[in-house]
Amino acid sequence: MVENNKPQSPTQFGWGISHRIFHDDAGYPVYIDDETITEWNGKHIAASLVAGKNHTVKGAEEGARLMGYLVMVEDRKVEGVKVGTIQVHGGTLLPVKAEDALAVGDMVVGAGNGEIRKADLANAAEAAKSAGRVCTAILDGSDGKKYAEVVFS
Instruction: Write the pLDDT tens digit of every residue in 28-70.
Output: 889 998 776 765 666 788 899 898 999 899 888 899 999 888 8
Sign of the Cα pseudo-torsion (80, 115, 121, 137, in order)? positive
36, 113 in Cβ contact below 8 A? Answer: yes
Q: Which residue has the higher pLDDT, 142 or 153?
A: 142
**Domain presence at residue 112:** yes
**Domain presence at residue 137:** yes
Q: Which residue has the higher pLDDT, 1 or 36?
A: 36
Burial of 12 (0-12, 13-18, 19+ CB in 10 A): middle
pLDDT for 131 beyond 80: yes
How many secondary structure helices (H) and strands (E) does the chain include?
Answer: 1, 12
Give which of 114, 130, 126 is closest to 70, Cα–Cα: 114
The pLDDT mean for the chain works out to: 81
**Domain presence at residue 118:** yes
* pLDDT confidence band for 22 (50 / 70 / 90): very low
**Domain presence at residue 12:** no
76 plus 112 within the same structural domain: no
Between the ranges 5-9, 17-21, 27-31, where is the mean pLDDT highest?
27-31
Would you mind telling me the total number of residues written for the chain in this entry?
A: 153
115 plus 132 within the same structural domain: yes
111 plus 83 within the same structural domain: no
* pLDDT confidence band for 23 (50 / 70 / 90): very low
101 plus 72 within the same structural domain: no
| Distance (Å, whole) CA 5 – CA 150 | 34
63 plus 99 within the same structural domain: no
**Domain presence at residue 14:** no
**Domain presence at residue 11:** no
Q: Which residue has the higher pLDDT, 101 or 34?
A: 101
32 plus 72 within the same structural domain: yes
What is this structure's pTM? 0.77
68 plus 48 within the same structural domain: yes
Last residue in a domain, options 69, 88, 107: 88
Domain that holds residue 104: 91-152
User: For the chain, what percent of residues have pLDDT higher than 90?
Assistant: 31
Give which of 109, 85, 80, 84 is closest to 96, Cα–Cα: 109
Point out the least confidently predicted range of 22-36, 80-94, 103-117, 125-139. 22-36
Tell me which H or E stretch contains 108: strand 108-112
Neighbours of 56 (CB within 10 A): 18
**Residue-wise pLDDT tens digits, 70-90:** 888 888 888 888 888 888 888
26 plus 79 within the same structural domain: yes
